[in-house]
Amino acid sequence: MISQRFVLGGELPVRRLGYGTAQLTGPGYWGPRGDARAAVAVLRRAVERGVTLIDTADNYGPSVAEELVAEALRPYPGDLLIATKGGVVRTGDSTWHVSGRPETLRAMCEASLRRLRLDTIGLYQLHRLDPRVPMAEQLGVLDELRAEGKIRHVGLDTVTAEQLCAALKLTDIAAVQNRYNLLDRDSEPLLELCETRGIAFLPWFPLGNGSLTAGGVRTEIAAAHGATPGQIALAWLLHRSPVLCPTPGTGSLVHLEENLDAAAVRLTAEDMRALG
């Protein structure tokens, strides 16, 4: 039996299948996506279905996703973990600029606190390491924010196993977020390290940006389980490692229900071998 829960940072239990907010914004993660009421309905339904991990970022929109989270979910349930990110500046559709200067990261975190209407962000993730700024300076300001009670746990997004090892020599890291799914397993060394250290791994593009919702051996396995190929891809992540906490995103209530129902799919050892 697979565990449906993970204790993040050794103290915050979350349901492993969460919800990501990127798809609540427009193309290229820029601007709003349609009627805000639809986004609010999806967020509220996710929590009604038992989601306790909401993953967002200041640059989704920018600002749009964080504001929607606050509009939909405040007052926040006591068991809900809001994870957000900083360290990237947006100047247009599909345009990102890494910015890891300590004063910039502090300003971004404090802006996220205001938008989310939180006193403390449960998981604050450095969206990208800035190669122009020493890692110690980037993580140092996050440590300061944690000491001030503005951050509870620190995470990293898009890192190598070597970079995580270096970061762990500087501070505690509760989570990482890298691209990882059935078709993209370049982060296997990082996953192994996370398993060893008890660090949550939030795989982004868990459905391969839509490429895993149809076709392949997943279709045959899905038919045997009365499921969809996308549900099989999500179930594979839940079975693959107890530290994997996928947060698939969608702006559709129908797709939200489908994604969350993947937690009930029980893959056999033969299924896992077939999926590779």
Which residues, 6 or more positions from 34, have their beta carbon under 8 angstroms from its beta carbon?
251
Which residues are known catalytic residues? 60
Using CA atoms, how far apart are residues 194 and 207, in angstroms rounded to an integer? 21
Using CA atoms, how far apart are residues 213 and 192, in angstroms rounded to an integer? 26
Beta carbons of 154 and 116 less than 8 angstroms apart: no
Using CA atoms, how far apart are residues 141 and 21, in angstroms rounded to an integer? 26
Q: What is the DSSP string of 164-228?
A: HHHHHTTS---EEE-B-BTTB-TTHHHHHHHHHHT-EE--BSTTGGGTTSS-SHHHHHHHHHT--
Which residue in the block uniquely carries the two structure tokens 């503005």? 150
Using CA atoms, how far apart are residues 253 and 230, in angstroms rounded to an integer? 15
Cis omega before residue 62 (within 30°)? yes
202: left (phi over 0), alpha (psi -120 to 50) or beta: beta
